[in-house]
Amino acid sequence: MRPLALCLLALPLFSQAMDEAAFRGDARRVAGACADRARLLRPKDAKMLAEYGRAFLAAGERAKAEECFQAARIDKPKDADVHRLIAVAWLRAGQRGEALKAIADMQVADAKDKNAFTRAAVNLQDFGQAKDADALMERAWILDPSDWQNCVAFGRSCLRKARREAAAKWFARASQAKPQEERMWNAIALAYADHGAEPV
């Protein structure tokens, strides 16, 4: 009861704006302070909780991050994207083992969410985990070989990491899935033109 009363008393303080000086401070402290404010203002959204956790990890506050991750998992246990966001937080913090555990949880939470699997594969690729990324993308592709968008997204991430052989494989799969799709050909053209950078 007492912690709840303290939170209620602190709520008006946390809903106030911060001045410029606060944002010029140490980036880790700013991340933690902003995550604290966000968590107090809207603590029930699972994806937001996962993102607060990411900010807490960046701020060096692992215990708070894990609290947020656990709350997110409890709120939406079957939402694969929530688990993916948790994995991204661990990847950004350089915690590969924790990230892979979150990705394993994601696959259990919704074994058929090909889009979440693809996004997680792209995330793994972007953080230099090519082998794990390839394995997860294969799983996403098996779920729906006709999804050219996911093939292009992963191929694009391969180009970003100068993995041209892997990119060629995924672009070929995209072209085989929908050879008459103008948007697919344009997406591949832009992927090469942009050297794999995310589309604008």
pTM of the model: 0.83
Rounded to an integer, what distance in angstroms lies between the CA atom of residue 83 and that of residue 102? 6
Which of 5-14, 30-39, 53-62, 98-107 has the least mean pLDDT? 5-14
pLDDT for the residue 195: 94
Contacts of 104 (CB under 8 A, 6+ apart): none
Q: Stretch 159-188: mean pLDDT, rounded?
A: 97
Give the pLDDT band of residue 6 (cuts 50, 70, 90): very low
Q: How far is CA 156 from CA 18, 43, 88, 170, in A?
A: 39, 35, 18, 9
- Contact between 153 and 126 under an 8 Å Cβ cutoff? The reply is no
43-69: pLDDT as tens digits: 668 998 999 999 999 999 999 999 999
Domain boundaries, the chain: 133-200
